[in-house]
Amino acid sequence: MQKKIVEFANLLRKSGLRVSVSEAIDAFRALDELSIDDRGVFRDALRASLVKRGDDVPTYDQLFDLYWSGFHDNLRQAFESAAGALAGEGIDVEELLRRIQQALENGEAGEAGELDLSELARALLTGDLSELERLIRAAAAQAGAARIENMLQIGFFGRRTLEALGAENAARELQGLAARLRAAGMGDAEAEAIGRLAERFFEALRQSVRNFMERELQTRNFDYMEKFRREALFEKSFYSLTEDEIARMREVVARLAQRIKNVMSIRRRRMKRGKLDLHTMLRRNMARGGMPFELVFKERRKDRPKLVILCDVSSSVANVSRFMLQFVYSLQECFTKIRSFVFVAELGEVTQVFHDHDVSKAIEEALEGGGVINVYTRSNFGMAFHTFWRDFLSAVDAKTTVLVLGDARNNYNDPKAWCLRDVHSKAKNVVWLNPESPSAWGFGDSVMDKYLPYTSVAEECRNLRQLSRIVDRLVL
Amino acid sequence: MFETVEDVQKQLEQQGYICERRIATVVYLASRLEKPVLIEGPAGVGKTELAKVVAAATGRTLIRLQCYEGLDEAKALYEWEYSKQLLYTQILKEKIAEVMDGTRSLREAAERVGAQDSVFFSDQFIVPRPLLHAITSDEACALLIDEVDKSDPEFEAFLLEVLSDFQVTVPEIGTFSARQRPLVFLTSNDAREMSDALKRRCLHLWIDYPSEEVELKILDAKVPGIDKKLAQDLVAMMARLRQLDLKKIPSISETLDWARALLALNAGALDEELVRDTMNVILKYEADIRKAQQELSRMMTRSEPKAAAGATAADPAARKKGTLH
């Protein structure tokens, strides 16, 4: 049992749960206190001691089912169906097994020393499924089945397990037994039935071993694929996301935002200690005759940044905008105020849209222009910046970070970089995120080089990893 | 204490706390293994209540430590009573002069005083706070550390020593260890994730919104005299409300409040108007109320058994389920 729990804990670890040794020990101790006959209790006890995060519970549940249930049931099923098939051929398996047992005990098949049945053959003949399971598990361990990694290896490891199990040998033994019994005067029909029985049972055994391997593979690989996909999402370019991936991405973005928020709250608290607050300190230490036993400091609050986002929503960068907006709005508490604008050629404010709807709906609407601009035109950064400069420059002050999202592909229009220059001189920061790599900036109709002097930070941002790094810097 | 898991369930039920077997299992294990339990889950599902009820069922006194930002050792563990110490030195001035009598050098005087300083750093001048209380208490007790997620990470680190060894060191006096290990419950609303180190030392219990069946039982136990049919409607309604994408999802405590409100209004059955009027008992945000009212008429028609069969297939609430968690 202990071994199985250690193995199960390992499995959980492999699937991304953090299970420490002391937790595994707790699990043993917990099971000592309970009767493990009750599956529900067993499951809850393991869960309470091994799984400590709400998010991990679904993974645990699935793995629990995979690991703890079933192989035994499966084995029984295989052998029952074998027995059923034999019954269909007119052979009563139970009767036959009893007959063999009897024959063995009476020494009909020769001296006991001559007939040395292997453990496997004995288990098969007595129908001892628990023993059979133990043997299969041992053989699989010997064959190194724990190393199984993909479907193609099922056959290989299955064969090795059967070898380790000594299956062929046992089959020969059973055939030999039939021959002996016939020689000892058993009826032909009966002897033949034994032969048939041996065949069927081995078929069932083979099937079970294969099934065991499949299970093994499933448990080993559980979440491996999931994790792999998640990792890949981080690196994947926003340009090539499929619809399904966008949906999954949203979750990842939300999780990332939560993480940044956690880090933020810790860092902000560390910043808090400021100068000595003499006034409050004297008051509070009055009880001790004004002796400053207890020091009181003024709280220093780090200003949360204000944010103005200018989002290009032309189809070429829509996905980047989508995730950026999602990110920023998941981090709302980290900013004093966020104002968002969208543009293609015209520019319009969509702050209100975010105020009225929840984030995901607001984003979809913003990408449609939010009812304030026409999105079916060609990008014109110059015009957009000019509109911003003319109408909204007052939104920018010395505490504001201006975040521009766009590829700066200006369709050979006038870039009007001076608008950005004015914004830059008023704002605390101008951050430009461009989904194109820096080597393409300034080539073709890209006017990134014209804007570059007026940005504090300009970064390539084409996948989630880059995005998260930038946001990290933005809020701190 | 508790004999079996069933026993836990029964005893808690006697105290008026109806719970799923899963919860009982963890409580049983905690009492057996003497390990703290970290209870997590949404607000208002009975996390704090569980600790209180277990204390009542085992006949232990409950010591409660409410956590908040800025909580430190002085408020959680112990504090020296400076003013009392000061007062005593004033009063004992003469006695001190007596002790000092005949000393010739400064060094000699300091040594004399030094020999006596344990007088001023003794149990007499210590103000025990909840944690020290729980550890030094003669009888076994239950300790509830409420909303531990609200505390600072530093405090969490400090808790580790207390939780793993049940002992506390006061430098001037020495180490106190618990004569009897208290049953410890920590509750968290998931405002931030607790550290792995803390989680490792605890058993973990996630309490979620109860199933309709359990909620009905709770309602029955907590609001006696409520009409069966009304209770059923109420619980069904709550289950539907929880599927909406709300800012603050109503939990058991809101269900109970609502039931009591309806009882006070002498309501016999749940109709649309009544729900509309009493909505503010269960929903705490203006936006939530507005949203729920929009959905209300649709929900009410579905609560009619006749319409149920056809409508469930296109259940808009079910589609929204994904946004719930």
Q: Which of B168, B185, B206 is the last residue of a domain?
A: B206
Using a CB-CB cut-off of 8 Å, the residues of chain A touching B35 are 26
- Shared-domain flag, residues B85 and B173: no
**Cβ <8 Å between B190 and A54:** yes
Of residues A215 and A448, the one with the higher pLDDT is A448
- Shared-domain flag, residues B108 and B256: no
Does some domain include residue B235?
A: yes
Give the model's confidence band at B166: pLDDT under 50 very low, under 70 low, under 90 confident, else very high.
confident
Using a CB-CB cut-off of 8 Å, the residues of chain A touching B245 are 358
Give the model's confidence band at A15: pLDDT under 50 very low, under 70 low, under 90 confident, else very high.
confident
Question: Which residue of chain B is at minimal alpha-carbon distance from A299?
Answer: B70
Using a CB-CB cut-off of 8 Å, the residues of chain A touching B192 are 262, 265
CB proximity A266 to B under 8 Å:
yes
Does some domain include residue B131?
A: no
- Shared-domain flag, residues B172 and B23: yes
pLDDT tens digits, residue range A276-296?
888 888 888 877 777 787 788
CA–CA–CA angle B262, B264, B270 (5° rounding): 20
Does some domain include residue B263?
A: yes
Does some domain include residue B134?
A: no
Does some domain include residue B130?
A: no
Does some domain include residue B133?
A: no
Across the beta sheet with A347-349, the strand order is: A347-349, A337-343, A306-312, A400-405, A429-434, A457-460
Residue A224 has pLDDT above 90, yes or no: no
Which of A152-166, A289-303, B13-27 bottoms out in mean pLDDT, i.e. has the lowest? A289-303
Using a CB-CB cut-off of 8 Å, the residues of chain B touching A269 are 69, 152
Name the average pLDDT for chain B.
82
CA-closest candidate to residue B75, choices B9, B133, B16, B4: B133
Residue B78 has pLDDT above 90, yes or no: no
Using a CB-CB cut-off of 8 Å, the residues of chain B touching A44 are 21-22, 25-26
Residue A223's pLDDT is 55
Nearest CB neighbour to B193, from listed A45, A262, A293: A262
pLDDT tens digits, residue range A192-221?
777 777 788 888 888 888 888 887 777 766
**Cβ <8 Å between A358 and B203:** no
CA distance A289 to chain B (A): 9
Phi and psi angles of residue A225, each rounded to the nearest 5 degrees, phi first: -60, -45
Residue B276 has pLDDT above 90, yes or no: no
Which of A161-165, A229-233, A392-396 bottoms out in mean pLDDT, i.e. has the lowest? A229-233
- Shared-domain flag, residues B85 and B34: no
Using a CB-CB cut-off of 8 Å, the residues of chain A touching B82 are 287-288, 293
- Shared-domain flag, residues B41 and B85: no
Instruction: Read off the DSSP letter of residue A304.
Output: P
Q: What is the domain count for chain B?
A: 3
Q: Which of B90, B125, B160 is the last residue of a domain?
A: B125
Which of A45-59, A300-314, B87-101, B271-285 bottoms out in mean pLDDT, i.e. has the lowest? A300-314
Helix (H), strand (E), coil (C) string for A315-334: HHHHHHHHHHHHHHHHCHHH
Residue B324 has pLDDT above 50, yes or no: no
Which of A170-179, A451-460, B123-132, B197-206 bottoms out in mean pLDDT, i.e. has the lowest? A170-179
Query: What average pLDDT does the segment A45-68 reach?
Result: 81
Give the model's confidence band at A265: pLDDT under 50 very low, under 70 low, under 90 confident, else very high.
low
**Cβ <8 Å between A52 and B26:** no
- Shared-domain flag, residues B26 and B173: yes
**Cβ <8 Å between A41 and B152:** no
CA torsion A117-A121-A123-A127 (nearest 10°) is -130
CATH number of the CATH domain containing B186: 3.40.50.300
Residue A141's pLDDT is 81
Residue A116 has pLDDT above 70, yes or no: no
Residue A229 has pLDDT above 90, yes or no: no
Does some domain include residue B151?
A: yes
- Shared-domain flag, residues B218 and B293: yes
Give the model's confidence band at A155: pLDDT under 50 very low, under 70 low, under 90 confident, else very high.
confident
Question: In chain A, what percentage of residues exceed pLDDT 70?
Answer: 86
CA-closest candidate to residue B236, choices B312, B291, B287, B288: B312
Instruction: Read off the DSSP letter of residue A166.
Output: T
Q: Which of B206, B225, B259 is the last residue of a domain?
A: B206
Residue B173 belongs to domain spanning:
5-70+139-206
Question: In chain B, what percentage of residues exceed pLDDT 70?
Answer: 92
Question: Which residue of chain B is at minimal alpha-carbon distance from A261?
Answer: B192
Residue A364's pLDDT is 82
Residue A112 has pLDDT above 60, yes or no: no
**Cβ <8 Å between B26 and A48:** yes
Of residues B272 and A257, the one with the higher pLDDT is B272
Give the model's confidence band at A115: pLDDT under 50 very low, under 70 low, under 90 confident, else very high.
low
Give the model's confidence band at A189: pLDDT under 50 very low, under 70 low, under 90 confident, else very high.
confident
CA distance B27 to chain A (A): 10
What is the ipTM metric for this complex? Answer: 0.74
Give the model's confidence band at B302: pLDDT under 50 very low, under 70 low, under 90 confident, else very high.
low
**Cβ <8 Å between B203 and A26:** yes
Which residues 273-292 in chain A show a CB within 8 A of chain B?
287-289, 291
Distance of CA A153 to the CA centre of its chain: 24
- Shared-domain flag, residues B150 and B50: yes
Residue A87's pLDDT is 80
Of residues A101 and A224, the one with the higher pLDDT is A101
Which range of B47-56, B165-174, B194-203, B316-325 scores highest in mean pLDDT? It is: B47-56
- Shared-domain flag, residues B218 and B288: yes
Q: Which two tokens mark A351?
A: 């702050």
* A38 membership: H or E segment, kind and range: none
Give the model's confidence band at A135: pLDDT under 50 very low, under 70 low, under 90 confident, else very high.
confident
pLDDT tens digits, residue range B15-49?
888 888 889 999 999 998 888 999 988 888 889 99
Distance of CA A144 to the CA centre of its chain: 26
d(CA A383, CA A426): 20
DSSP-based three-state secondary structure for B315: coil
pLDDT tens digits, residue range A82-94?
888 878 877 777 7
- Shared-domain flag, residues B104 and B243: no
Residue A3 vs residues A62, A292, B28, B231, B305: alpha-carbon distances, Å: 20, 60, 24, 49, 52
Residue A324 has pLDDT above 70, yes or no: yes
- Shared-domain flag, residues B247 and B294: yes
- Shared-domain flag, residues B274 and B297: yes
Q: A-B interface: how many C-beta pairs under 8 angstroms?
A: 73
Residue A241 has pLDDT above 80, yes or no: no
Give the model's confidence band at B315: pLDDT under 50 very low, under 70 low, under 90 confident, else very high.
very low
Using a CB-CB cut-off of 8 Å, the residues of chain A touching B38 are 52
Residue B66's pLDDT is 92
**Cβ <8 Å between B204 and A48:** yes
Which range of A101-115, A234-248, A431-445 scores highest in mean pLDDT? It is: A431-445
